[in-house]
Amino acid sequence: MILLDGKKIADEILEKIKKEIETLKKTTYGIPGLAVIIVGSNPASQAYVSKKHKIALRLGINSRVSELDEKTSQEILVNRIKSFNQDNHVHAVLIQLPLPDGFKTWEILNHLDPEKDVDRFLPINLGNLLLNRTEIYPCTPAGVLALLDAYQIELRGLNAVMVGRSFIVGKPLASMLTNRNATVTLCHSQTKDLAGLLRQADLIVAAIGKAGFITPDMVKKDAILIDVGQNFLTQAGEVIRLCTPSQQKRFEKKGVAITGDIHIDAFKKSSYYTPVPGGIGPMTVAMLMHNTLQLFKRKTRQETS
Ligand code: GUN
């Protein structure tokens, strides 16, 4: 049972990016620019955006956050995206999801310049990912693979079960694992006999948003367990049932605990596992910074060639 320390690996990646930006500043006289748009006041989204902004600034990225009220019209949001498309100081744009009810996500996202799509969610970017014709990947799936790579875990031939079919995590990650020669089963809420499929898995990735959903009886001995879930618990009973002592401590201090989709007792059966928090969360942020830097370098290359 080896803990995959996402916080440590993410910090190492961030340190490298910071050094590279310092060098680029001297040689290209430019700095990467990241614009994050957030609509409404979802507390979890606000916390994620604030974290991304702070880390970007620390690395020397020209980071800005554009906040819009949830009563904003779709047209104002689209105009904000278009103005970032035009802005030469902005190389990467992220629209924090989910958007509040009533916003038509794809009508909006499709206005973003695909070259500035730092999440790589747009059809052309996801299509290239499917075809294994890209080097820039959606942040959370990229974070999962970077963490597995950091621990030199070989994916070839593994029986991988991906639980969750969102375009943010499940669908791209299932393709990326396939491109890395794993045999992938993509499961979701309608899957028959999920427990039976999970019991055959060498690698389980959980991205469903249900605290403690995957229980020890669903996990094969020595499976690799990757937990993408970040569930916020506020009920003491749930916290006692589903949380580690350190998660419980956070609850005592702040009235909220964060836990994953995999039950904490399942980790005891694993060969490797990711903690929540401190696993995939920090890796996702590190990959956002990585993608921002890659988009800046691409743009600079295009301009000088
Ligand atoms: N909401 C949750 N995860 C993500 C992500 O990776 N990108 C965006 N844009 N929104 C999210």
What mean pLDDT do residues 163-191 have? 98
Instruction: Using the CB atoms, write b or e for 96-130: b if 16+ within 10 Å.
Output: bbebeeebeeeebbebbeebbbbbbbbeebbebbb
Would the CA dihedral through 207, 216, 44, 71 be positive or negative?
Answer: positive
Give, to the nearest 10 degrees, the angle between helix 43-59 and helix 280-304: 50
- β-bridge partners, 65: 36
pLDDT of residue 106: 97
Pairwise CA distance, residues 109 & 178, whole Å: 26
What mean pLDDT do residues 192-203 have? 98
Q: Report CA(229)–ligand 1 centroid distance (Å).
A: 13
Residues 246-276: tens digit of each pLDDT: 999 999 999 999 999 999 999 999 999 999 9
Cis peptide before 216 (omega within 30 of 0): no
Q: Does residue 22 register a pLDDT over 80?
A: yes
**Residue 52 a catalytic site member:** yes
**Residue 222 a catalytic site member:** no
Enclosing H/E stretch for 38? strand 33-39
What mean pLDDT do residues 199-204 have? 98
65 lines ligand 1 (CB under 6 A): no
Residue in 5, 116, 117, 119 annotated catalytic? 119
pLDDT of residue 303: 85
Closest Cα to atom 11 of ligand 1: 97
**Quick count: other Cβ atoms within 10 Å of Cβ 259?**
27
Query: In which residue are the tokens 């403690």 written?
Result: 212
Where would I find the H helices in the chain?
6-28, 43-59, 74-86, 105-109, 123-130, 139-150, 170-179, 194-199, 236-242, 245-254, 280-304
pLDDT of residue 191: 98
Closest by CA to 61, choosing from 69, 53, 50, is 53
Q: Can you give the pTM of this predicted structure? A: 0.98
What mean pLDDT do residues 143-165 have? 98
pLDDT of residue 301: 87
**Residue 119 a catalytic site member:** yes
User: 292 with 64: CB under 8 angstroms?
Assistant: no
Closest by CA to 170, choosing from 188, 154, 149, 143, is 188
Of all residues in the chain, the percent with pLDDT exceeding 90 is 97
